Amino acid sequence: MKLVCTQENFKKAISIVDKITAKQITLPILKNILIETKDGRLFFSATNLEIGIIIKIGAKIEREGKIAIPSKLISEFISNLPQEENIEIELNGQILNINCGKYKAKINCLDSEDFPIIPERKGVYQFSIKNDIFKDIINKSLSSVSLNDIRVEFTGVNLSFFDEKIYFASTDSFRLSEYEVGIKENEAYKQIKESTAIIPAETLRELSKILHNSNDNEETVVTIENNQIFFDIGDIKMVSRLINGKYPPYKQIIPNSFKTEILINKGELLQSIKIASVFTKKTDGEINIIIENDKNLVVKSSLQESGENQTDLLIEKTGENQDFVLNPRYLIDGLNVMDGTNIKIMINDSFSPIILKMVNDKGGKTVDNFIYIIMPIRK
């Protein structure tokens, strides 16, 4: 293998694939990045056996070849190089020679034949989502994912496929979020319509990192085959295993009507909850929210050894007065991913699910494609 490519493209490709190389020692080859030339391009591949990423960049290739190079070593070497135009790479046996201006390195590599094969989709893609929308979906959906694996299906985001739309849902059994998004269907979409799939949260975190460095106006194309999900983002391909499990029928807990609806400034509510949480237990704290008239909401908290706190906020209310208790962390997590100046909170009583929705700043209309649900703490 012998080639020349730009330092900028080489560095970007290494930084993307390096993030998912395995940190375990049982399979040393997984700590490596596979570099190979193919079809006049330079390809970088990495996998931890759960997620695989392949990225291609342009290069002037004089001689074909492939090799597995230690991820940590090449990443640290490249990231510390000063800005240069090009990198020259030549493989001699198991030694990779890298020249970049006055900086040179010889890196001991492993045989590429030991590197696992990363699956690639066989059929055509099934649907696509604009990158900026996909970033928003992931950001909002991860707010409710479970952080422990007692129920493995709760460690991922559930996708339900319908005509021209998909519901992304996540829950840890204490709160739940659902994001409805319109999609561009391909003919192959009918293969998955009326079905579901659970994507691991870690996969979506890695996908989000890629999307944040991609063009917002371009699209990510998605395919599901053989209990795997494939993402194509420009010159980057990503594959992940899906979670085996059945997601609970969560729509049953979403109320169809409410006794009380309030409109409140999101920033003021968020600040009051953060202050109230100072006077609660750090892990399983409780705050009391009281809606006592049409214009006021009271946030209260107390801790025997610390003291107590109360904040009064202005609201617009329709319906009955309410008095309920919530975990402040769940409310903060939900408010942090909601857009706009105001939000709408909908309540029935102190033991039924409480719904949060965003409100459009321009028209003042409720945004219905994303909901965040919190289960109150029973007194």
SS3 annotation, 68-108? EEEHHHHHHHHHCCCCCCEEEEEEECCEEEEEECCEEEEEE
Instruction: Give the pLDDT of residue 282.
Output: 78
| Model confidence at 270: pLDDT above 90 | yes
R_g over Cα of the chain: 25
Instruction: Give the pLDDT of residue 36.
Output: 97
Mean pLDDT of the chain: 94
In the numeric block, which tokens belong to residue 104?
A: 């040179």
Instruction: Give the pLDDT of residue 369.
Output: 97
Instruction: Give the pLDDT of residue 379.
Output: 72
H or E segment to which residue 358 belongs: strand 354-359
Per-residue pLDDT band for 25 (boundaries 50, 70, 90) equals: low
pLDDT (mean) for 224-248: 96
pLDDT (mean) for 337-366: 96
* Burial class of residue 318 (count of CB atoms within 10 Å of its CB; 0-12, 13-18, 19+): exposed
Q: Cα separations (Å) of 210 from 31, 44, 237?
A: 20, 15, 10
Per-residue pLDDT band for 184 (boundaries 50, 70, 90) equals: confident
pLDDT (mean) for 216-223: 96
In the numeric block, which tokens belong to residue 234?
A: 């420009």
Threshold 0.85, pTM exceeds: yes
Per-residue pLDDT band for 24 (boundaries 50, 70, 90) equals: low
Please check whether residue 118 is in contact with residue 47, taking contact to mean a CB–CB distance below 8 angstroms.
yes
Q: What is the side-by-side order of every strand in the sheet holding 366-374?
A: 196-200, 156-162, 165-171, 175-182, 366-374, 354-359, 342-347, 260-265, 307-319, 296-303, 287-291, 322-326
Per-residue pLDDT band for 334 (boundaries 50, 70, 90) equals: very high
In the numeric block, which tokens belong to residue 120?
A: 């690639």
The Cα–Cα gap between 374 and 281 comes to: 19
Q: Cα separations (Å) of 262 from 288, 363, 374?
A: 16, 17, 16
The Cα–Cα gap between 52 and 239 comes to: 5
Residue with token string 């609806």 = 261
Please check whether residue 345 is in contact with residue 146, taking contact to mean a CB–CB distance below 8 angstroms.
no
Domains and CATH numbers, the chain: 2-114 (3.10.150.10), 127-250 (3.10.150.10), 256-374 (3.10.150.10)
Instruction: Give the pLDDT of residue 304.
Output: 86
3-state helix, strand, coil in the chain (%, to 5): 25, 45, 35
Total residues found in the chain within this entry = 379
Please give the distance of CA 108 from its chain centroid, rounded to a whole number: 35
The Cα–Cα gap between 118 and 7 comes to: 25
Closest CA to 372 of 329, 338, 325: 338
